[in-house]
Amino acid sequence: MKPRDLLYTARDVLRDMLRFDAAADAVLSRLFRAKPQLGKTDRQILADTVYQVLRHLRLFQTLAATDESIGGAMELRLAILGWSGNAQSLHAALSPEQLDWRKRLLAQDAMALPEAVRWSLPEWLAAALQANYGAEYPALAQAMLRPAPLDLRVNVQKTRREAVLDVFARLNLPAQPTPYSPWGVRLEGKPALQDLTVFREGWVEVQDEGSQLLAVLLAPRRGEMVVDFCAGAGGKTLALGAMMRSTGRLYAFDVADYRLAKLKPRLLRSGLSNVYPVAIAHERDERVRRLAGKVDRVLVDAPCSGLGTLRRNPDMKWRQKPEDIAELRTKQASILQSAATLLKPGGRLVYATCSILPEENSGIFNAFLAAHPDFERVPADTVLRQQGVDGEGLVTQGDLQLLPNRHATDGFYAAVLQRRPTSSDRGEADATLSD
Ligand SMILES: C[S@@+](CC[C@H](N)C(=O)[O-])C[C@H]1O[C@@H](n2cnc3c(N)ncnc32)[C@H](O)[C@@H]1O
């Protein structure tokens, strides 16, 4: 497609996207399905341009409103400001007046603008981040404006990290081991993974290093009975299954069939045979009740605002509203409550979100512990150390707290609890030990 036509396509996509009635990636997928003639480079330019606009939406809208000399719809002017093709395509896409306008506006001194405009945050979210992160708020807000790196998880069921790094070195694709996860590889750039044998053969999966650490924290063992309560498309399920070396039973629960369906091809690639996807109607489903008191480990990767993933999903900051958070909190508390009933005495649960709002995180977890004296917090740094991960700097008040500005991961929270062993279990354990 000619760069100028691409610019107008970006305008049309933005018109759709800025209604915020569907996720940005769904809007893009719909477009790509409708226009199969779009080549790889065109798709990349379109995606990068509209995501750049979503990231900087408030700033770009403010800048565009200060100078209307080039005319055209707001969405066109936003696409001009966000254009993310190379210099050649930029010159081919824009008229000389548009080029001048873009240059002038992007050169403006943004320091004169309020922080929430500069960092393109809705007022309510800027206020919440400032209240919760204080002096760290500017670094956090700015880190969330940068695109995320491409992290992969090496499937230890099939290979080792060194072998994967060797393959990338031979392909001349710069890659580094991630600093915290024992299975993480960080790629420079965004190669088309689907074309690579390492991906097709199930040696690697795309997964942010932070997500990998949630699996590390659950630390499931061979032969155990494990439940991934909100498994979705199974990103963490696959990591857990590999940790269990494809032994035991790993149930992947979710209320969304269509998400679980996406797990199937990934499972095939992974080589795991210990995973059992189960669609449940809600968190108190009969299939959940049947496992009460029988499970060794449970992961609750709870539905949340997703505000820790703004580097990848910048539309979330415009789509979420304070009243959505209140609704999510009720759901999170209810899921945690049900999921905890699955645990055997001595069993462990990890409650996690990709939110950076404490009310979805420690707020839910601490309230659960306060109301349930038969459960206790397990310090996350202890578990990480046992798993060979240096938890220094990863743990705040006993729980894992990852932030893009500190750890170059998405924002994640994860806390571990254990069901206290009953006195008869302790007796049994003592008897076993003294035998
Ligand atoms: C954060 S996502 C999970 C992502 C997934 N664990 C992964 O690693 O790809 C939260 C998931 O919770 C699911 N969910 C929402 N309500 C639920 C409920 N009551 N019980 C179980 N799962 C639920 C959603 O369908 C969604 O897939």
- The interaxial angle of helices 40-55 and 74-82, nearest 10 deg, is 110
Mean pLDDT, residues 47-61 taken together? 98
Residue 354: active-site member: yes
Q: Is the pLDDT of residue 430 over 50?
A: no
pLDDT at 353: 98
With beta carbons less than 8 A apart as the criterion, state whether 129 and 121 touch.
Answer: yes
Given the DSSP bridges, would you call strands 249-254 and 275-279 parallel, antiparallel or unpaired? parallel
Residue 109 assigned as binding residue: no
Given the DSSP bridges, would you call strands 375-378 and 412-419 parallel, antiparallel or unpaired? antiparallel
CA distances from residue 348 to 50, 146, 204, 297, 421 in whole angstroms, order as listed:
42, 35, 27, 5, 11
Burial 127-154 (b: 16+ CB within 10 A, else e): ebbbeebeeebeebbebbbeebbbbbbb
Residue 301 assigned as binding residue: yes
CB atoms < 10 A from the CB of 395, how many? 19
CA distances from residue 291 to 20, 183, 231, 251, 373 in whole angstroms, order as listed:
39, 31, 17, 10, 21
Top CATH class of 209-427 equals alpha beta
Rounded to whole angstroms, how far apart are CA atoms 199 and 152? 10
> Which two structure tokens, joined as six digits, stand for 166?
């060797």
How close is the Cα of 131 to the center of ligand 1, in Å? Answer: 28
Q: Which atom of ligand 1 is nearest to the CA of 253?
A: 21
Rounded to whole angstroms, how far apart are CA atoms 362 and 39? 45
pLDDT at 218: 98
With beta carbons less than 8 A apart as the criterion, state whether 336 and 419 touch.
Answer: no
What is the sign of the dihedral through the CA atoms of 282, 285, 290 and 292? positive
Give, using CA atoms, the residue closest to atom 9 of ligand 1. 235
Q: Does the interface ipTM go beyond 0.90?
A: yes
pLDDT at 433: 29
Given the DSSP bridges, would you call strands 343-353 and 412-419 parallel, antiparallel or unpaired? antiparallel
pLDDT at 432: 32
- 115-172 pLDDT, tens digit per residue, is 999 999 999 999 999 999 999 999 999 999 999 999 999 999 999 999 999 999 999 9
Q: Residue 71: pLDDT band by 50, 70, 90 thresholds? A: confident
Q: Which of 284, 403, 387, 280 is nearest to 342 (CA)?
A: 284
- 171-185 pLDDT, tens digit per residue, is 999 999 999 999 999
Q: Which atom of ligand 1 is nearest to the CA of 232?
A: 27
Rounded to whole angstroms, how far apart are CA atoms 27 and 13? 8
Q: Specify the domain boundaries for CATH 3.40.50.150 within the chain.
A: 209-427
